[in-house]
Amino acid sequence: MNIVDGLLNSYANFVRIAWDRSVAGPQRVWMVVYPPDQERRLRMRVGDFEVATLDAKHSWRLVDITDSFGHWLGAHDYRDSYFEEPADITPALEEFAESLADEVRGYLTADNVDDNTVVALIGVGALFGLGRASRLIEAINNDIRGRLVVFFPGEVEGTNYRLLGARDGWNYLAVPITATEG
């Protein structure tokens, strides 16, 4: 079995388990953790994760933030000056982080999302060098109604997550889902 098949199997088993509706926001986050070199394979199979969710009688919403930075920068008043002097964008990355949290929060709190919905977040690898996945998740975890599934290209050791295997990771209460789980 390849890594993506293992992830899908683990996820399908996990999504069928009865959900405890009383857990706090940080505990409603599921991290589907995979090696970064599996990103394209996982993206090709993301529809299978949707099918597994629907088979478990939950609804599904996919949010792709891969292009969020490009859209934010393209609409920014100072975009031309940032292209001329890329180092000048550093202070504005705080504004991007807030904008991204608002974007994802909009999906989490949409009218078609309830406590039986899986909101799946893909594209967090695109945050590398621009922001932190941990900061995004912490900013939105109180807005999760059902479950937030984060497709996470990186590694997990216990409760310590490392995006793209770089930087020291962060300790988080999310539930890890890996290819090796039964």
Q: For residue 7, give both structure tokens.
A: 């992830």
Would you state the pLDDT for residue 182? Answer: 42
SS3 content of the chain, % helix, strand, coil (to 5): 50, 20, 30
Give the DSSP H/E element, type plus range, for residue 57.
none
Q: Buried (b) or exposed (e) across 8-43, using 16+ Cβ within 10 A? A: bebbbebbeeeeeeeeebbebbbbbbbeeebbeebe
Would you state the pLDDT for residue 20? Answer: 92
Find out whether 136 and 130 touch, Cβ atoms under 8 Å. Answer: no
| Rounded distance between C-alpha atoms, residue 171 and residue 152, angstroms | 14
Instruction: Check residue 128 and report its DSSP letter.
Output: T
Residues of the chain with pLDDT below 70 are: 79, 167-171, 181-182
Give the pairing type, strands 175-177 and 170-171.
Answer: unpaired
Q: How many CB atoms sit inside 10 A of residue 142's CB? A: 12
Q: What is the pTM of this model?
A: 0.92
